[in-house]
């Protein structure tokens, strides 16, 4: 369990810039109001019911079935 928490903490640190420095928070609330699926994924993330692995894929799917394969990182 401790190793798993360490892995999630490293993933969270790697995504820190995306959430806090790249303006994601500016559009997160409006998107969550418009797209219940995205709201559900982020709710699960923030309430620790899911991890960061697969977050991009799940957010894109929740946003309307988009596939992450063609998007850059």
Range of the domain at 30: 2-66
**Domain annotation covers residue 47:** yes
36 lies in some domain: yes
Question: pLDDT by residue (tens digit) across 34-72?
Answer: 999 999 999 998 888 998 888 889 988 998 865 545 444
Our count of domains for the chain comes to: 1
Are the CB atoms for 56 and 69 separated by under 8 Å? Answer: no
| Residue 71 covered by a domain | no
**H and E: helices and strands count for the chain:** 5, 0
Integer Cα distance of 2 and 64 in angstroms: 35
What is the pTM for the complete model shown?
0.62
Give the residue with greater pLDDT, 41 vs 13: 41
The answer to whether the beta carbons of residues 52 and 45 sit under 8 Å apart is yes
What are the structure tokens assigned to 26, written together? 């500016």
């Amino acid at each position: 369990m401790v190793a798993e928490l360490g892995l999630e903490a490293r993933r969270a640190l790697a995504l820190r810039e995306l959430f806090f420095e790249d303006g994601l928070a500016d559009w997160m609330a409006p998107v969550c109001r418009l797209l219940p699926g995205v709201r559900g994924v982020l709710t699960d993330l923030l309430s620790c019911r899911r991890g960061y692995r697969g977050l991009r894929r799940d957010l894109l799917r929740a946003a309307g079935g988009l596939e992450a394969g063609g998007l850059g990182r």
